[in-house]
C-alpha cells in the first residue's frame, strides 16, 4: 500500500523564494502554486525538470475567498486522494520609497490585502482541512502553516507606513493562530526574512553578481521552511529570523 499523497499549497508565487520552497517540498509533496500571474508565469519559475509535472498544479488566485475556493476545487479534482498538510503564505508587495503624505488610503488598503486578508483567507480554507488530518507519523503535525514575514513586521519605518501595517497584522494573525491551533496539532510559524533575496529581478536591478554575499539565496531560505515542516511537535518554532551573515540589523 502506498502512502497517501501529501499536498503543499503556496500562495504568492514568483520566481524567487516560492519557487525554491516548491522545489524543496517537492521531494515529499505535490504542490499547488497560487498567484495572480499563474499559470502563465509558470515557466518563469524555472522549476527543475526533475519534478514530475503531474506533481505541480498552478492556478490563478488573487487571495480572495472566492478565488481560493475555486483553486481548491481544482486541487480536489486533480488530486482527489491527497491530503493537504502544508500551507505557505508568501505574498509580497512591491515597496515604494514614499513618505506617508505621498501615500493614500488605497496604498494602505492594498497593503492590508496583501499583508493579512489573503493570509486570513488561506488560513480559513486550510485549517479545517488540517484538523481533519491524522497527525503526521513523524512530526506529529496535522498540518503546518507558514507565514513569510519581514523586518517590517517588527518595526515600522518612515517609508513603511502602509506596508508595515500589513506585515505587523500578518504577524498578529500568525501568533493568534499558533496559540489557538497549536494545541490542536497545527504548527503555525512566522519566518522573518531580513534581507534582500537574490532573485532575477534583484539581479536585474543590482547587477548579476553578489560579490559581497549580501543577498539571501532563495534555496538557502527554503531550507528553513522545509525544516519547519518537519519539526516535531514537542519542540515547535513559532518564529525565527533569517538574514545573511553580513547583514546589519
Give residues 118-137 in contact with a copy of itself (rule: CB under 8 A): 120-121, 123-124, 127-128
Contact letters for a copy of itself, residues 221-240 (x by CB under 8 A): x-xx--x---xxxxxxxxxx
Tell me how far apart the alpha carbons of residues 205 and 228 are, in angstroms, rounded to a whole number: 31
In contact, 11 and 122? CB cutoff 8 Å: yes
Within 10 A of 6 (CB to CB), how many other CB atoms are there?
Answer: 18
What span, in angstroms and rounded, lies between the C-alpha atoms of 128 and 109? 27
The reply to whether 25 sits near a copy of itself by the rule CB under 8 A is no
Give the interface segment with a copy of itself, choosing from 31-39, 49-57, 175-183, 201-209 (CB under 8 A). Answer: 175-183
Comparison of 60 and 223: residue with beta carbon closer to a copy of itself: 223
Instruction: Compute the distance between CA of residue 225 and CA of residue 42 in angstroms, rounded to an integer.
Output: 21
Distance CA 144, CA 228 (A): 8
Q: Which is nearer to a copy of itself, 28 or 65 (CB)?
A: 65
Tell me if 149 sits within 8 A of 199, measured CB to CB. no
Listed ranges 6-14, 43-51, 79-87, 171-179: which one lies at the site for a copy of itself (CB under 8 A):
171-179
Query: Cα angle vertex 14, ends 176, 215, to 5°?
Result: 85
Cell numbers for 123: 488560513
How far apart are CB 196 and a copy of itself at their closest, in Å?
A: 10
CB atoms near residue 55 (< 10 Å): 15
Residue/partner pairs of 109-112 with CB below 8 Å, 24 or more apart: 110/162, 111/162, 111/163, 111/165, 111/166, 112/165, 112/166, 112/169
- Regarding 62 and contact with a copy of itself (CB under 8 A), the answer is no
Closest CB to a copy of itself among 55 and 247?
Answer: 247
- Asked if 27 interacts with a copy of itself (CB under 8 A), we say no
Q: Does 181 bind a copy of itself (CB under 8 A)?
A: yes
Q: Is 176 in the site for a copy of itself (CB under 8 A)?
A: yes
> CB of residue 1 vs a copy of itself: minimum separation in angstroms?
28
3-state secondary structure of 138: coil
Distance CA 65, CA 11 (A): 13
| 155 touches a copy of itself by CB under 8 A | yes
**Shortest reach from residue 105's CB to a copy of itself, in Å:** 6
Q: Does 247 bind a copy of itself (CB under 8 A)?
A: yes
Whichever of 59 and 150 has its CB closer to a copy of itself, that residue is 150
The DSSP code sequence of 69-97 is HHHHHHHHHHSTT-EEEEEEE--------
Interface pattern 74-113 for a copy of itself (x via CB under 8 A): -------------------------xxx---x--xx--x-
Report 186-215 residues binding a copy of itself (CB under 8 A).
Answer: 187, 193, 195, 198, 213, 215
Amino acid at each position: 500500500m502506498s502512502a497517501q499523497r501529501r499536498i503543499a499549497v503556496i500562495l504568492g508565487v514568483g520566481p524567487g523564494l516560492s519557487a525554491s520552497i516548491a522545489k524543496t517540498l517537492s521531494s515529499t509533496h505535490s504542490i499547488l502554486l497560487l498567484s495572480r500571474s499563474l499559470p502563465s508565469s509558470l515557466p518563469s519559475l524555472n522549476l527543475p525538470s526533475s519534478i514530475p509535472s503531474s506533481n505541480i498544479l498552478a492556478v490563478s488566485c488573487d487571495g480572495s475567498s472566492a478565488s481560493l475556493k475555486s483553486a481548491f476545487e481544482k486541487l480536489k479534482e486533480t488530486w482527489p486522494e491527497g491530503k493537504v498538510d502544508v500551507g505557505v503564505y508568501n505574498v509580497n508587495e512591491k515597496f515604494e520609497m514614499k513618505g506617508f503624505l505621498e501615500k493614500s488610503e488605497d496604498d494602505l488598503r492594498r497593503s492590508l490585502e496583501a499583508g493579512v486578508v489573503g493570509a486570513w483567507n488561506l488560513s480559513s480554507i486550510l485549517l479545517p482541512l488540517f484538523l481533519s488530518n491524522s497527525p503526521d507519523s513523524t512530526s506529529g503535525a496535522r498540518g503546518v502553516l507558514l507565514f513569510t514575514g519581514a523586518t517590517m513586521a517588527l518595526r515600522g519605518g518612515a517609508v513603511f507606513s502602509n506596508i508595515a501595517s500589513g506585515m505587523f497584522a500578518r504577524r498578529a494573525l500568525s501568533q493568534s493562530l499558533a496559540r489557538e491551533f497549536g494545541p490542536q496539532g497545527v504548527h503555525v510559524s512566522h519566518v522573518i526574512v531580513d534581507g534582500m533575496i537574490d532573485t532575477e529581478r534583484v539581479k536585474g536591478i543590482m547587477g548579476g553578481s553578489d560579490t559581497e554575499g549580501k543577498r539571501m539565496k532563495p534555496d538557502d531560505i527554503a531550507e528553513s521552511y522545509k525544516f519547519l515542516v518537519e519539526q516535531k511537535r514537542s519542540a515547535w518554532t513559532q518564529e525565527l529570523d533569517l538574514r545573511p551573515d553580513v547583514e546589519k540589523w
